[in-house]
A and B are shown apart, each in its own frame.
Chain A
Amino acid sequence: MDELKGKVWKFGDDISTDLIIPGKYKFKTIDLDELSKHAMEGADPQFASKVSKGDIIVAGENFGCGSSREQAPLVIKHAGVSAVVAKSFARIFYRNSFNVGLPLVECPELYDNVDTGDVVEIKLSEGKITAKGKTFYFKPIPGFLMTILQDGGLVEHFKKRGSFIWEEPTRSQ
């Protein structure tokens, strides 16, 4: 989980949850094999058939804005994407992604330096991305979110520990 390497799919600003997984699908089923066929459909209708395991989404500002639907990070993860790097994320999407075990990285500098098809390498614990021979740094993910991520998401986290990390008196932040 700490080191991720993948091919870039680049998107613009304000990629809403309606573009990531249109509402018309998400009310009918929670089967992720079915829903993931429509991952990113509103932004790129062919995305689900083109994406390969380990690929990385790179996007602009406010990625995941809009609804609270957890189906959004779920379909991205289930489609094979290993991480999303954006200039910024919407708040609920940010929480949801870590809860389902999808790492997010806020690194505005990367955006103008990569294109679709480039390969990037992320070291989460070091807060470092390398792409096309250049290195970009980002503020490390808060400790308790990293713990949830390493446990495989919040469900696995609770199953493993029987409590939530934020309930523990000496939690790391």
Chain B
Amino acid sequence: MAMTLAEKIISRKIGRQPSPGEIVVLPIDAAMAQDGTAPLMIRSFEGMGANKVWDGSRAIFVIDHISPSSNEGTSALHKMMRDFARKFGITLYDVGEGICHQLLPEKGHIYPGGVVVGADSHTCTHGAFAAFSTGIGSTDMAAVFASGKLWFKVPETLRINISGEMPKNVMSKDAILYAIGEVGADGATYMSVEFTGDAVKAMSVDSRMAMTNMAVEMGGKTGLIASDNVTRQFLEGRIKVPFLEMSADPGAHYSDTLEVEAGKLEPMLSCPHQVDNVKAVSEVEGLQVDQVFIGSCTNGRLEDLEVAARVLRGKEVKARTIVMPASRETYLAALKKGIIEDLVRSGCAVGVPGCGPCVGGHHGVPSPGDVVVSTTNRNFKGRMGCSDSSIYLASPLTAAYCALNGKITVPE
């Protein structure tokens, strides 16, 4: 029978066709924990009495959430991770390397057909490379580190089909915000979200990752995109396994399909304090903005920084603007292209590759009453560290225009 992309990846692992709702046990190709989840993972791993990591080359730690550390407590937790990594011979990406969801594909850990787990909810990002990739907690991760396997419920699939050409002032972020508004914050709970359509095919890897990243904001287990030439170009030279073109079978059964006409999309905002509280930027235009953040595992990639620099080049920002490249590789490429210089000259504070202010630990916690426009993926109350601030999620293009004018602005 025809299979969805999620079913196809799972079927390669178990050697038969899976059926939605069934519990399967899958071998893991890559397993990652970050500094918010690894310390508890270590505690569970040791608590279990495990004494060996199943495969050090597939087990990865990333220090990105509070990186570099802002306080003694965090520093002690980082040390705990470094000690564990050394003891068990696992891969560790330390301060300055970047955000886990950018590093894993860059460093060749992600490939089509792979099964990936991360102790971070935005692990669904890697579905952009046709990998079945999902977020789990620390104790599940301890089980994976000990055994190399984990149980999963085979998900049903929600298809989001985006067709046509997007207007010039619309980015993939606007498309995913629109979709979340339509589906709702829990509309895809337990489901695989598969993005299809010619508009998706035409997207860069950076744009695709911004969409799969936010599948979890509609409750999704993973966000998936078929692998093609665009995927191949990015992964070649990075991965050590043969590249696979993987896509859903024609006629696969989807639980539901959301049709999106790209040409009708407009710049969108996710308004406080729920990600599915989505409005067109034009509906909120003019609201004064105190802080702008451009970065994160959603929109801190080269394409995003480039878009922002194009808007801000030779001009001056009117709102406090913080920019964090997603990784060292992104940072270096942006330096080479003169993007960082444009941003710094325009008044942006450019910081170390990492999660930055997104999780509210450091590097730009807003003040009470602040209105923040952010290219990140969550606007829950208190998310950025201050319960009395309002966070609006936007594309890097919209964010740059808001920075330039100091108020919410529809980008040109």
7 contacts between A and B (CB under 8 A): A30-B77, A65-B219, A67-B378, A68-B137, A154-B48, A159-B49, A166-B151
Q: Is B407 an interface residue (CB 8 A)?
A: no
CA distance A61 to B44 in the complex (A): 29
Near A by CB (< 8 A), chain B positions 95-114 give none
B186 in contact with A92 (CB, 8 Å): no
Q: Is A96 an interface residue (CB 8 A)?
A: yes
A23 with B139: in contact, given A30-B43, A158-B49 (CB under 8 Å)? no
Q: What 1/0 mask marks residues of chain B from 56 to 76 whose CB sits below 8 Å from any chain A CB?
A: 000000000110000101100
Q: How far is the CB of B276 from chain A (nearest CB, A)?
A: 9
Apart from A91-B189, A91-B219, A158-B143, 12 more pairs, CB < 8 Å: A24-B360, A42-B380, A65-B219, A68-B119, A70-B40, A70-B138, A96-B139, A96-B140, A154-B142, A158-B50, A159-B49, A164-B149
Q: What 1/0 mask marks residues of chain A from 89 to 102 whose CB sits below 8 Å from any chain B CB?
A: 01110011001100
A155 in contact with B25 (CB, 8 Å): no
List, in ascending order, chain A residues with CB within 8 A of B23's CB. 142, 144, 166, 173
CA distance A42 to B386 in the complex (A): 10
CA distance A16 to B138 in the complex (A): 18
CA distance A16 to B387 in the complex (A): 13
Q: Is B296 an interface residue (CB 8 A)?
A: no
Q: Give the A-B contact count at a CB cut-off of 8 A.
A: 148
List, in ascending order, chain A residues with CB within 8 A of B347's CB. none
Partner of B147, one of A23, A65, A90, A167: A167
A66 with B380: in contact, given A92-B121, A155-B44 (CB under 8 Å)? yes
Q: Is A69 an interface residue (CB 8 A)?
A: yes
CA distance A71 to B137 in the complex (A): 9
B37 in contact with A68 (CB, 8 Å): yes
Q: Is A6 an interface residue (CB 8 A)?
A: no
Q: What 1/0 mask marks residues of chain A from 50 to 93 whose CB sits below 8 Å from any chain B CB?
A: 00000000000110011111110010000000000000101110
B40 in contact with A30 (CB, 8 Å): yes
Q: What 1/0 mask marks residues of chain B from 252 to 289 whose CB sits below 8 Å from any chain A CB?
A: 00000000000000000000001000000000000000
List, in ascending order, chain A residues with CB within 8 A of B151's CB. 144, 166
List, in ascending order, chain B residues with CB within 8 A of A29's CB. 73, 77
Partner of A91, one of B43, B44, B221, B274: B221
- Chain A's closest residue to B191 (CB) is A91
- Chain A's closest residue to B220 (CB) is A91
CA distance A92 to B219 in the complex (A): 9
Q: Is A28 an interface residue (CB 8 A)?
A: yes
CA distance A144 to B274 in the complex (A): 34
CA distance A130 to B122 in the complex (A): 38
A26 with B36: in contact, given A88-B186, A153-B139 (CB under 8 Å)? yes
Q: How far is the CB of A165 from chain B (nearest CB, A)?
A: 9
Q: Is A127 an interface residue (CB 8 A)?
A: no
- Chain B's closest residue to A92 (CB) is B135
Q: Is A149 an interface residue (CB 8 A)?
A: no
Q: Is B146 an interface residue (CB 8 A)?
A: yes
Which residues from chain A sit less than 8 Å from chain B, CB to CB?
14, 16, 18-19, 22-24, 26-30, 42, 61-62, 65-71, 74, 88, 90-92, 95-96, 99-100, 142, 144, 153-155, 158-159, 164, 166-167, 173
B36 in contact with A27 (CB, 8 Å): yes
List, in ascending order, chain B residues with CB within 8 A of A155's CB. 44, 47-48, 139, 142
CA distance A29 to B80 in the complex (A): 11
A65 in contact with B36 (CB, 8 Å): no
B35 in contact with A27 (CB, 8 Å): yes
Near A by CB (< 8 A), chain B positions 16-48 give 23, 25, 35-37, 39-40, 43-44, 47-48
Q: How far is the CB of B252 from chain A (nearest CB, A)?
A: 22
CA distance A154 to B39 in the complex (A): 16
List, in ascending order, chain A residues with CB within 8 A of B387's CB. 22, 42
List, in ascending order, chain A residues with CB within 8 A of B274's CB. 14
Q: How far is the CB of B95 from chain A (nearest CB, A)?
A: 14
- Chain A's closest residue to B48 (CB) is A158
Candidate in A28, A144, A164 with the most chain B CB atoms within 10 angstroms: A28
A23 in contact with B48 (CB, 8 Å): no
Partner of B143, one of A70, A142, A144, A154: A154
A42 with B185: in contact, given A23-B36, A26-B36, A158-B48 (CB under 8 Å)? no
B189 in contact with A88 (CB, 8 Å): yes
CA distance A129 to B259 in the complex (A): 41
List, in ascending order, chain B residues with CB within 8 A of A173's CB. 23
